[in-house]
């Protein structure tokens, strides 16, 4: 039988692949101590962002893609923001800038002639400019009001050529600034939903729990003294995957399908065992005015995933049940 040289080549070349940790470590290294590098200019940049009516992001090549992403992030938080290629500035796009604009220059080299020319023009027109620069000693830096040092000792590729660690750092720097700006302005779930009305995001932060929950007449409701047989019958008649145990109108526990299965496996009697013996006496709940997204986060918590939540008022009285299936 002849040798399959193609298969042998693939086997040898795969064996020579670098593991993911080889590259991840370079990205991790790029993030070390950035807080100390950014702190001196941080507050000043945020003050300029606060005063500006519009943010204009500028970048060429890979830095341009970062600029586009930052502009999109800013718009998603309600800020007027666009991206412009610096090379297009002197070919008709200068009309976008005004005294109310703040220009964000994103550049690894900090020495591109098109950036420098545009920065000089903006300076002459009194337009504020800041930068996310990989080289804070370049000529561009001297044309800007403030800069964040986004320099890296090496890129992720073995040749140290492809913009990778540097673009990642610029993206993180820009988004941290934007999020800090949003936090300082008290940006809320309601604000977020106003700019994301479509899709699941819009549903999560526009709808309240009370708009999608199952009402009381659809919920299996029990007394602590009800038998396991009554629990099973009630949960079968109203199959939401959960039964709510109440005492004098107040929620005192819940029983899930998993609780029932475990009880039966452990030999619990259907006739003599009571609901209060197998219920969870400290259930996680949510309020009717909570956003749907907040309820989803609770149900999908890494600590303990849940398929349903009882909905209660401020007095812990049961109002209904919301299921994860109802949220999507």
- Dmax (CA) of the chain: 87
Q: pTM value?
A: 0.68
d(CA 244, CA 251): 7
* Sequence-ordered alpha helix ranges (H) in the chain: 5-15, 20-31, 34-51, 62-76, 113-125, 165-184, 189-194, 199-206, 209-212, 228-237, 257-265, 275-278, 292-299, 324-327
| pLDDT per residue as tens digits for the range 279-294 | 999 999 999 999 888 8
Mean pLDDT over 245-249 rounds to 91
pLDDT at 241 over 50: yes
What is the per-residue pLDDT for 244? 96
pLDDT band at 8 (very low <50, low <70, confident <90, very high): very low
The CA distances from residue 311 to 14, 34, 91, 223, in Å, are 54, 44, 59, 17
- Write down the domain spans for the chain: 16-187, 209-327
The more confident residue out of 299 and 46 is 46
Q: Which residue has the tokens 């659809």?
A: 218
Report the CATH fold assignment for 16-187.
Rossmann fold (3.40.50)
pLDDT for the residue 164: 95
Q: Which CATH class is domain 209-327?
A: alpha beta
Is residue 14 scored above 60 in pLDDT? no
Strand order in the sheet with 242-247: 220-222, 242-247, 250-256
């Amino acid at each position: 039988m002849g040798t399959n040289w193609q298969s042998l080549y693939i086997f040898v070349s795969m064996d020579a692949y670098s593991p993911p940790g080889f590259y991840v470590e370079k990205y991790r290294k790029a993030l070390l101590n950035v807080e100390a590098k950014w702190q001196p200019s941080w507050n000043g940049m945020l003050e300029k962002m606060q005063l500006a009516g519009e943010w204009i992001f500028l970048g060429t090549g890979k830095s341009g893609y970062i600029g586009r992403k930052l502009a999109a992030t800013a718009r998603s938080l309600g800020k007027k923001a666009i991206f412009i290629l610096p090379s297009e500035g002197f070919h008709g796009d200068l009309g976008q800038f005004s005294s109310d604009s703040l220009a964000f220059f994103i550049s690894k080299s900090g020495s591109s002639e098109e950036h420098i020319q545009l920065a000089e023009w903006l300076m002459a027109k009194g337009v504020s400019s800041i930068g996310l620069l990989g080289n804070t000693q370049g000529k561009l830096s001297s044309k800007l009001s403030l800069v964040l040092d986004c320099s890296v000792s090496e890129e992720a590729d073995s040749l140290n050529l492809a913009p990778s660690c540097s673009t990642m750092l610029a993206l993180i720097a820009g988004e941290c600034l934007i999020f800090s700006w949003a936090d300082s302005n008290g940006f809320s779930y309601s604000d977020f939903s106003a700019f994301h009305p479509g899709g699941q995001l819009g549903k999560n932060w526009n709808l309240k729990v009370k708009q999608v929950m199952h009402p009381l007449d659809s919920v299996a409701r029990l007394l602590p003294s009800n038998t396991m047989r009554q629990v099973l019958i009630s949960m079968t008649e109203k199959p939401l995957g959960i039964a709510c145990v109440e005492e004098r109108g107040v929620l005192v526990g819940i029983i899930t399908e998993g609780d029932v299965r475990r009880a039966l496996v452990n030999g619990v009697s259907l006739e003599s065992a009571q609901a209060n013996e197998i219920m969870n006496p400290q259930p996680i709940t949510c309020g009717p005015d909570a956003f749907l997204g907040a309820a989803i986060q609770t149900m999908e918590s890494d600590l303990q995933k849940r398929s349903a939540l009882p909905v209660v008022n401020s007095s812990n009285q049961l109002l209904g049940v919301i299921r994860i299936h109802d949220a999507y």
